[in-house]
Amino acid sequence: MFMGDTLNLTHIALARHHAYTLLSRLFLDGLTEELWPYAQAVPELTAVLPSNPNFDETAVAHHTLFAFNLFPYESIYRDASGLLGGSVTDSILSSYQDAGFAIDDDATSSDHIGHELALLAFLCGAEADAREDNLPTVALQMQVRQRDFLQKHLLNWLFPFVLAVKQQGNAFFTAVATLTTDLITNHATELSSFVNLTIPNLPDPPDLLANEKTSLKDIAAYLTNPVYCGIFLSRDDVGRIARAHNLPRGFGKRDLMLHNLLKAAVQYDALPNLLETLHTITQDWVAAYQQFAEETPILTPFLQIWNGRVQTTQQLLTTIQEASGELASNE
């Protein structure tokens, strides 16, 4: 067995079912009038809830955060293309089908964090039902599915996603992301010691320094693809960096905005300062990954691979600073 006596296990599984369900809905739909009373019942959320919510405004805030700035999809963080779909999404769908779980929103990709949390809610609910019906073998099977899904999917992108949410300055979804992290790390820790743990590999990043034709556009694409650089820069992040250096960044996709910012920095002899700011940002991400690992040592392998990507990015930024003149000539 993974945990203690049956009565406590039933209550724990049911509690996790309800917690995952609420977090799933909040990520998928935002703070709606329907979810408002449930959010009020959670002390960690009550502290950041508006006193008189305007649900049109909360809908806009949700859209701005998760459709304009951040993209809460596993494939965005784990696929080399940085786009939705591909083998990552196919693997998610396979996990759903094996569990007999169907998502109820055709408009949202299956690898949305809300759907992944909904699968865990489904599996925890099935475990609770099995324990209530005195079916320990079925309950154990549900726990194995929970463990395997966490290991193969959520734990492999949860931490960079949560850090990306936190740096956007939205107090409510920072609290939601923190609760999600706490719930999942506690769940994963209790399910297994992860002996003989196998961590799926991330795609190899391009060796920009080995290509003499590497341009600022290539660097911008690299720094806006989390699977390569280990961090996530949103549109608002790029905008904040640009304002801090009094540089234009234009509009459009994140990689285009960052490319414009890098070109402007070259034009106004501000590239060293800009690169120093980017380096500071990567230091903050390294510190955050290390803090996660210190708080939950058993999950360190899931964090090391992302931390390694950020450290490689730091080396890249240092080398770029040394070769800034040559890069400018490649534009």
Could you give the domains of the chain?
6-191 (1.10.3480.10), 208-329 (no CATH)
Residue 112 near residue 73 (C-beta atoms within 8 A): yes
pTM greater than the 0.85 cutoff: yes
Which position has the token pair 């320094």?
A: 209
Bigger pLDDT: 106 vs 109: 109
Tell me what the mean pLDDT of segment 149-157 comes to: 93
Bigger pLDDT: 113 vs 7: 113
For 299, phi then psi, to 5°, come to -95, 10
Q: Looking at residue 2, what is its pLDDT?
A: 42
Tell me what the mean pLDDT of segment 120-134 comes to: 96
Residue 169 near residue 215 (C-beta atoms within 8 A): no
Tokens linked to 291 = 């803090």
Tell me what the mean pLDDT of segment 140-145 comes to: 92
Report the length, in residues, of the chain: 331
pLDDT digits (tens, 9 = 90+) for 80-107: 877 777 888 888 999 999 999 988 766 6
pLDDT digits (tens, 9 = 90+) for 31-45: 999 999 999 999 999
Tell me what the mean pLDDT of segment 157-183 comes to: 96
Residue 291 near residue 178 (C-beta atoms within 8 A): no
Residue 201 near residue 135 (C-beta atoms within 8 A): no
Q: Looking at residue 1, what is its pLDDT?
A: 38
Q: Looking at residue 30, what is its pLDDT?
A: 96
Give the whole-angstrom CA distance, residue 67 versus residue 78. Answer: 18
Tell me what the mean pLDDT of segment 55-83 comes to: 91
Give the whole-angstrom CA distance, residue 289 versus residue 306. Answer: 8
Number of other residues whose CB lies within 10 A of the CB of residue 108: 16
Task: Please state, for a pLDDT cut of 90, what percent of the chain lies above it.
Answer: 71
Q: Looking at residue 327, what is its pLDDT?
A: 55
In DSSP notation, 149-203 reads HHHHTGGGTHHHHHHHHHTTT-HHHHHHHHHHHHHHHHHHHHH---TT--PPPPP
Q: Looking at residue 320, what is its pLDDT?
A: 85
Average pLDDT, the chain: 89
Give the whole-angstrom CA distance, residue 124 versus residue 13. Answer: 5
| Whether pLDDT at 5 is above 80 | no
Q: How confident is the model at residue 250 (pLDDT cuts 50, 70, 90)?
A: confident
Q: Looking at residue 161, what is its pLDDT?
A: 97
Q: Looking at residue 108, what is its pLDDT?
A: 76
Helices 271-295, 254-267: axis angle to 10 degrees equals 140
Q: How confident is the model at residue 301 (pLDDT cuts 50, 70, 90)?
A: confident
Residue 316 near residue 208 (C-beta atoms within 8 A): yes
pLDDT digits (tens, 9 = 90+) for 185-214: 999 988 875 555 667 678 888 888 887 788
| Whether pLDDT at 324 is above 80 | no
Q: How confident is the model at residue 4 (pLDDT cuts 50, 70, 90)?
A: very low
